[in-house]
């Protein structure tokens, strides 16, 4: 593990942390998901092949990248997932896995335990089956997700549960957090921001909480209110995406972050170092130098 206080000696521009959306395919159809619009056969065919991902991953390692977050879609929906995951572990990356949990079986949990990530982050958007499956639109997804939590905890795989607060689950947020607290070492994250879909649709915003609903949620649970006030008391830093962190999408485009896909460098045809050091600094971002929040943009790619 790299000590965070040692990272201050890195240059301002250094490829420290990568979030890699290795697929948009998923076995669920979560109502607020911004990648689900690309969860279709024609777009899946356009995704990077195994050999292309492994080659780019090697280039990231050679460039000194340390942290690698594998996300989707659902990363485990790729048949080659463990070819990619175990290669990343062998390369020395500190790997975080974002998952909906429903594809984690005993054998999957065993393989993750054999080469543990840092950690697995599972989306737990409902405390009850009814609410959970109203969001995921997947039958039996609640049982599979909660079973995955038990499997990973039983194997001591580092685990974080996270919830996106929205109209469909706001009455269960506190129950979810209390449940996670009862699990002991399991971490928890609560988010309130939804994103427009990759195709530009604003359908996910139908499920956004109003500011009044967020405030009411905070009032109901003092710890949530305290955490919110702590976050608000610290001025948001200027956006530094593309300096030490960056994003790669399912089609091989290097981008500033998952929230800014206006421009991308095509890693299928160019090297990572060229993309990171020569092209990424030229990409536009209207949030640079401001404290404005970031939202996803329509995917208009330039090589």
User: What is d(CA 145, CA 247) in angstroms, rounded to the nearest whole number?
Assistant: 27
Give the per-residue pLDDT at 7.
57
pLDDT confidence tier of residue 294, bands split at 50, 70 and 90: very low
Lowest mean pLDDT among 136-145, 174-183, 289-298: 289-298
Distances (CA, A) of 127 to 31, 138, 177, 231: 17, 15, 9, 26
Residue range 52-96, pLDDT digits in tens = 999 999 999 999 999 999 999 999 999 999 999 999 999 999 999
Share of the chain above pLDDT 70, in %: 84
Instruction: Summarize the confidence of residues 27-35 as an average pLDDT.
Output: 97
Give the per-residue pLDDT at 111.
98
pTM: 0.88
pLDDT confidence tier of residue 218, bands split at 50, 70 and 90: confident
> How many Cα atoms are found within 13 Å in the side-chain-facing hemisphere of 225?
9
- 78 phi and psi angles, rounded to 5 deg: -75, 125
Residue 13 has pLDDT above 70, yes or no: yes
Which residue spans within the chain are E strands per DSSP? 17-21, 67-71, 94-99, 120-123, 159-164, 187-191, 245-248, 253-255, 265-266
Tokens of 199: 């195709």
User: What is d(CA 135, CA 158) in angstroms, rounded to the nearest whole number?
Assistant: 25
Q: Which domains does the chain have, with CATH numbers?
A: 11-282 (3.20.20.70)
């Amino acid at each position: 593990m790299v000590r965070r206080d040692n990272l201050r000696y890195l240059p301002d521009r250094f490829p420290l942390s990568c979030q890699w959306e290795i697929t948009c395919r998923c076995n669920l159809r979560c109502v607020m998901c911004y990648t689900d619009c690309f969860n279709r056969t024609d777009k899946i065919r356009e995704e990077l092949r195994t050999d292309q991902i492994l080659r780019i991953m090697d280039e990231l390692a050679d460039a000194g990248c340390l942290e690698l977050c594998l996300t989707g879609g659902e990363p485990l929906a790729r048949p080659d997932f463990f070819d990619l995951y175990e290669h990343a572990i062998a390369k020395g990356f500190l790997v975080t896995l974002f998952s909906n949990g429903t594809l984690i079986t005993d054998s999957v949990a065993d393989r993750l335990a054999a080469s543990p990530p840092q950690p697995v982050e599972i989306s737990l958007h409902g405390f009850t089956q009814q609410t959970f499956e109203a969001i995921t639109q997947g039958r039996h997804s609640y049982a599979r997700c909660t079973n995955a939590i038990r499997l990973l905890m039983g194997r001591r795989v580092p685990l974080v549960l996270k919830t996106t607060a929205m109209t469909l689950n706001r009455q269960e947020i506190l129950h979810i957090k209390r449940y996670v607290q009862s699990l002991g070492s399991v971490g928890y994250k609560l988010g309130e921001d939804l994103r427009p879909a990759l195709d530009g649709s604003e359908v996910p915003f139908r499920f956004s909480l109003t500011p009044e609903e967020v405030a009411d949620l905070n009032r109901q649970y003092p710890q949530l209110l305290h955490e919110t006030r702590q976050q608000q008391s610290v001025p948001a830093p200027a956006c530094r995406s593309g300096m030490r962190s960056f994003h790669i999408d399912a089609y091989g485009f290097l981008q500033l972050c998952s929230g800014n896909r206006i421009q991308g460098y095509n890693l299928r045809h160019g090297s990572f170092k060229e993309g990171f050091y020569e092209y990424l600094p030229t990409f536009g971002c209207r949030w640079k130098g401001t404290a404005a929040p970031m939202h996803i943009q329509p995917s208009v790619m330039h090589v």
